Structure 1
Amino acid sequence: MRSVDSWLDRFAYRHPKFGIPNLMYLIIAGTVAVFLLDQFSGGTFSALLDFYPAAILHGQVWRLITFIFVPQTYKIFWFIISMFFYAFLGPFMEREWGSAKFTLFYACGILLSVIFGFLSYFITGFSMGPTASMYYVNMSLFLAFATLYPDAEMRFYFVIPIRAKWLALLYVFLMLWDIIQTPTMFLPIVLPMMVPSILASLVNYVLFFWSYLTPYFRRFRHQNSRQTINFKKAAREAKKDKGYLHKCAVCGITDADDPNMEFRYCSKCNGYYCYCANHINNHVHIQ
């Protein structure tokens, strides 16, 4: 079965005109414009553009698109940092993927945010705030970068050198921490606004990196399967009873005699025969 991301790759390859060149720069420009207008309107401008499902259902359909330009912070320092972050990762991923695939990634993020935003509204009936934003989808660009270049060195706060994969883990932790640190009394307000965006970003990331993640899913499933658990249990019991786990069928050396010796089981022998590193390729096959 073809992986999910391969279908997306084929779509992007067959529809190169689907891409919007320099898309992230356009989004940054729109976000900066809304941020500046909010400084003079006390945030009123963002309120007219944000994702309020009730308002959309009453005809304000422009919110289905304009919510992507709404700033997620009004503190100028963190706003500038986030814009620099997007200005680096967005164009980099566009060069890596091509305009068509990058645009598809962002468009899927918007669509999923809209879907989860409406689901949050219909399930909870929450109407006190926006139920969708692009903050976590934008931040998932970092997960995409870290998946492709896990050992790339980046500067944390422009000073501390750290590998991308560790920063990605930090991002996932902080994403969960945003929910964990919320006081219980505010959860009914925060969760309907935050969870849809988190789910949209994670689902979007999994769709575009399915082939990268599948081996980890398979490994986890194998390590936690009943067969593997029973095998490890039997191995521990055998080692406890006999004092060793592996024994060479030729020379008789065991892993208790030499803990550094490597042992292998021969697939050509008719049976379950173990051999040390000296005899795995130098023995008569038992038939």
Structure 2
Amino acid sequence: MHALQQWLDRFCYKHPRLSIPGLMRYIVIGNVLVYLLDMFSLGNVPIASSLLSFNANAILSGQVWRLITFVFVPYSSRYILFFALTLYCYYFIGNALEREWGSSKFTIFYGFGVLLNILIGFVVGYTSMFYVNMSMFFAFATLYPDLQLLLFFIIPVKAKWLAWIDGAYFAIAVIRYLLAGHFLLALIPIVAVLNYLLFFASGIGSQLSYWKRKAQFRAGAQQSKRQSGPKVVNFHDAKTQTKQAYLHKCAVCGKTDVSDPQMEFRYCSRCNGYYCYCADHINSHIHIQ
């Protein structure tokens, strides 16, 4: 998976023309237009959505425009405030990812989600971009885990905790489909998570390895302390040993997991090499190429 992520990074770097600057702006505008057309439809059938949504049988019958237009079909909602809030979140998160990655990588990330949905749509018969749009928050929380967001515009919550709530929503959706006997429909949220993992599995693995090594280091240090008992400490030697005992060191400021045990350290996938950065500099350093 790490090799695949490196290939994706190189591909995005070498093909800057494969980008749509401001992609989420067009996605949001398209959703608004389709939503308004559905509101003015006669009867209870949303005509615009029914003509533009993904339908495998209709596509195979010649309605090939659905391969593109299903991207602009909004998640059905009778509450316009909820719809507006959802689109605002899509726009905010999409723009943040594009600023961090660049237009090329974000376009390819979203494009992979579209492609995977098309493939699964022909298997299931139907699909939508709802879960892919929701999975963008996983990417956002991975890049900005400690960023505080206002839940309901009141409660400050870190992005990483909201990501766990988002993950629980995906798990409930999969379980609900399975319990209802809709086994193929359960693939739609799973595919959305797979698209996220294609771009972040390596970083997640590095972070998990870091947490594991840090826990082992602390457990070993505590065990050694219990076994050795109280003793006279040479502060000069202790300082030297402490400097040599760190597991991770920020390539910008020099902080280590020993000098700042509460700091999180991550490795940058865009740098050409295995460079570690603290949480203060993972999103603000100059990438080494």
TM > 0.5 fold call: yes
Aligned CA-pair RMSD: 3.2
CA distance in 2, matches of 1:51, 1:219: 42
Q: Is the 8 A contact 1:4 1:210 kept in 2?
A: no
Equivalent in the alignment of 1:118? 122
Residue of 214, 227, 238 corresponding to 1:254: 227
Supply the AA of the counterpart residue of 2:115.
L
Equivalent in the alignment of 2:66? 63
Q: Is the 8 A contact 1:35 1:74 kept in 2?
A: no
The alpha-carbon distance between structure 1 residues 74 and 2, as it changes in their structure 2 partners (threshold 3 A), is closer
CA distance in 1, matches of 2:176, 2:153: 26
Q: In the alignment, does 2:204 pair up with 1:213?
A: yes
User: What are the ranges of 5 or more consecutive residues in structure 1 without an aligned counterpart?
Assistant: 122-129, 223-227, 229-244, 262-275, 283-287
CA distance in 2, matches of 1:73, 1:151: 32
Shift of 1:73: 2.2
CA distance in 2, matches of 1:192, 1:183: 9
Q: Is the 8 A contact 1:31 1:69 kept in 2?
A: yes
Equivalent in the alignment of 2:129? 134
Q: Is the 8 A contact 2:173 2:189 kept in 1?
A: no
> Per the alignment, in what secondary structure is the counterpart of residue 154 of structure 1?
strand
Shift of 1:217: 6.4
Deviations 1:51-91 (A, max 9, x none): 11111122211111111111112221211111110111111
Query: For 1:233-252, what aligned pairs fall within 5 Å after superposition?
Result: none
CA distance in 1, matches of 2:108, 2:15: 10
Deviations 1:163-187 (A, max 9, x none): 0000000000012223445694xx2
CA distance in 2, matches of 1:150, 1:196: 27
Shift of 1:40: 1.5
> Per the alignment, in what secondary structure is the counterpart of residue 21 of structure 1?
coil
Q: Is the 8 A contact 1:24 1:86 kept in 2?
A: yes
Residue of 165, 171, 177 corresponding to 1:176: 171
Equivalent in the alignment of 2:20? 20
Shift of 1:246: 6.1
The alpha-carbon distance between structure 1 residues 54 and 214, as it changes in their structure 2 partners (threshold 3 A), is same
Supply the AA of the counterpart residue of 2:106.
F
* Count of residue pairs the alignment pairs up: 229
Larger Rg over CA atoms: 1
Give the fraction of aligned pairs with identical amino acids, expressed as a percent.
Answer: 41
Residue of 52, 55, 72 corresponding to 2:55: 52
Query: For 1:89-108, what aligned pairs fall within 5 Å after superposition?
Result: 89-108=93-112
The alpha-carbon distance between structure 1 residues 247 and 165, as it changes in their structure 2 partners (threshold 3 A), is closer
> Per the alignment, in what secondary structure is the counterpart of residue 17 of structure 1?
coil
Equivalent in the alignment of 1:237? none
Shift of 1:3: 2.6
